[in-house]
Amino acid sequence: MAQAAVNTPNCEVNVNAGTIMRMLDFAYEKAITGVPGLDSAAELARSYRSQPGSLDEQINRLIRWQNTKSASAGFVTGLGGMITLPVTLPANMTSVIFIQIRMIAAIAHMADLDLRDDRVKTLVYVALCGSAVVDILKSAGMRLGTQLTNQMIQKYLTAEVMKAINKAVGFKLVAKFGQSGAASFSKMVPLLGGIVGGSLDAYTTHLVGNTARKMFTQPIG
């Protein structure tokens, strides 16, 4: 199984696809149920859906606000104490993943998708891969040129397809972990300028948010 080493100030962490998926699963559950002081993904989605404007305008407003939060070192550092995963990974990584996943899940909910559906969860993970989204879905046999509605997801995301997609996502993220030592996570998401003191560059949140918006509101491909 593919494996990469992530250097931290005090240790080197070996990361494989299994570790990645456990990290994503735990962060996703926290995003769905919420953590102290933060809305769940569904609550976040409802707050923006109640605002004026089209769905795209509401989603863009959500992305802009998440950009602001993710740029705050204090906000991300504070998450490190709340989002502690049952895997050996640096706290800043777990915080970044949580912020990204909660935002993507909120966008999926705004598009009327069921966040408790494992098929939707798989697609949330795919959005973390940025520009590789189309290639991953295509390689798993997903029909391109259509929108990811509940009906389409139920029809095409079989257990076998989900397994293939999750495998592709895991290996894609592991490959990006193997880039240049302490800056490897910045290659994974990727972050502009990397992670410094647990802060998340707002530019990357913007890119990931736009990927999710396109995935869940427009035909893929």
Q: Given the DSSP bridges, would you call strands 3-7 and 12-16 parallel, antiparallel or unpaired?
A: antiparallel
pLDDT at res. 179: 47
Residues 47 and 59 sit within 8 Å (Cβ to Cβ):
no
pLDDT above 70: percentage of residues in the chain: 68
Least confident of 64-68, 71-75, 110-114, 161-165: 71-75
Tokens representing residue 13 in the block:
């962490």
pLDDT at res. 182: 37
Nearest Cα residue to 54 out of 221, 219, 218: 218
Cβ atoms within 10 Å of 82's Cβ, excluding its own: 15
| Mean pLDDT of the region 4-27 | 65
Distance CA 56, CA 187 (A): 28
Distance CA 113, CA 124 (A): 11
Nearest Cα residue to 110 out of 40, 34, 66, 58: 58
Q: Apex CA 83: angle with CA 78 and CA 86, to 5°?
A: 145
- What pLDDT digit, counting tens, does each position of 31-40 carry? 999 887 788 9
Q: CA 190: distance to chain centroid?
A: 12
For the chain, the average pLDDT equals 75
Q: What is the pTM of this model?
A: 0.79
- What pLDDT digit, counting tens, does each position of 104-146 carry? 999 999 999 999 999 999 999 999 888 888 888 888 777 777 7
